[in-house]
Amino acid sequence: MKNYKMTIAYDGSRFYGWEHQPDIEMTIQGKLESVLAQMLGMEVEVIGCGRTDAGVHAKAYVCNVHMETDMNEIEIRDYMNHYLPDDIGVLEVKVASDRFHARYNAMGKTYQYACYIGDKKPIFDRKYVTYLEGKIDVEAIRKATTYLVGEHDFKSFCGNPKMKKSTVREIYSIDVTCRNGYMYLTYHGKGFLQYMVRILSGTLIEVGQGKRSPESMISLIEAKDRNLAGPTAPARGLTLLKVHYAK
């Protein structure tokens, strides 16, 4: 039995996130396992690199599955793409080492939150960006990110109030870029808490709107109180860009 590493892309608009949920058919993991069960004639478990929320997208999500098949990597990819819905695509299938685990071997992830800050409504990509009305102070957002980079206790930015494990995480960088009326917040970190990127984005948007100062990030981190941070930004603006592994 071989261990296959798969890289997939998906439009999460109509899905309830990556992970299986009771009585909910529309999950990415569920769709992949359903197609593989059809291909193999038996059920298998697809191991994901982590959870993505309902409505969140991915350009290069990584998962792995142990299975026995006479098909080669290209044939597996093509079979899956034929039977998967149009909003899920398998980009690559590669035989990995038996010890490879998509989640435990991940060294970090890069997420991007997209906002439209131009003066016209974004019609054709409205499912993938958050539309912000009014003037946005991008430089204030950039300044605020400097207080968030590094290793901190991000409890104020955790969406799980029952979190029992450590809420300390390390963010390597947050890049704020603007082009053609769009603002992109790109987060590269070792790992992220539930809803963390969306809460960070919602809070940074408030900085850009003048509702809070860049320096307020310091007290927010120290407070360890979710109620003091900004709103959870809509899922549609968030995309998992890359999962990083040791070479």
Distances (CA, A) of 50 to 18, 53, 74, 136, 242: 8, 10, 25, 32, 12
11, 23, 53, 86: which is the annotated catalytic residue?
A: 53
125 catalytic residue (yes or no): no
Backbone angles phi, psi at 166, to 5 degrees: -60, 140
Helix boundaries (H) for the chain: 28-40, 73-83, 138-145, 196-208, 216-223
Distances (CA, A) of 41 to 20, 33, 37, 75: 20, 11, 5, 16
User: What is the C-alpha to C-alpha distance for residues 112 and 60, in angstroms, rounded to an integer?
Assistant: 12
Angle between helices 28-40 and 73-83 (to 10 degrees): 120
CA 31, 34, 40, 45 torsion: positive or negative? positive
Query: What does the block give as tokens for 159?
Result: 């969406």
Annotated catalytic sites, by residue?
53
